[in-house]
Amino acid sequence: MMFDGINLVAVLVAAVASFAVGALWYGVLGKAWMRAARLGEDDVRPNPLLFAGAFACQLVMAFVFAGIIYHAGPVTLGNGILSAVLVWVGFLATSLIVNHRFQGQSWALTVIDGGHWLAVLVVQGCVIGLFG
């Protein structure tokens, strides 16, 4: 199913895959992330609405990212990965660095969160690129 050159099935699969990558990422790095963010166990109680909102954001992100990849040239695996790295360097990494420095957060938090968003974009880029 296409929407102005955007494969909606690819968008859905990319959102699901990147959400799963986030769960795995923070499942492995959760304790280190909590220390870096200066949070305790009581601060990070699971909330179904929070997870639903996070998935909705991943869905929007995958849709917009598919549009970026589509407008950057042919929708291929290579262009998906290249677009992921460029968007991450140009927008996500820079935003995290600025926000975390002004918030007085640690570089460890920036690296953990930045790595997560790079992984999200690469997974989304791969899925969207492979679906074509």
Low-confidence winner among 31-35, 71-75, 83-87, 107-111 (lowest mean pLDDT) = 71-75
How much is the pTM?
A: 0.93
- Band of pLDDT at residue 1, cut at 50, 70 and 90: low
- Band of pLDDT at residue 18, cut at 50, 70 and 90: very high
pLDDT reading at 17 higher than 80 = yes
Q: What is the DSSP string of the chain?
A: -EETTEEHHHHHHHHHHHHHHHHHHHHHHHHHHHHHHT--GGGG---HHHHHHHHHHHHHHHHHHHHHHHHHSS--HHHHHHHHHHHIIIIIIHHHHHHHHHTT--HHHHHHHHHHHHHHHHHHHHHHHHH-
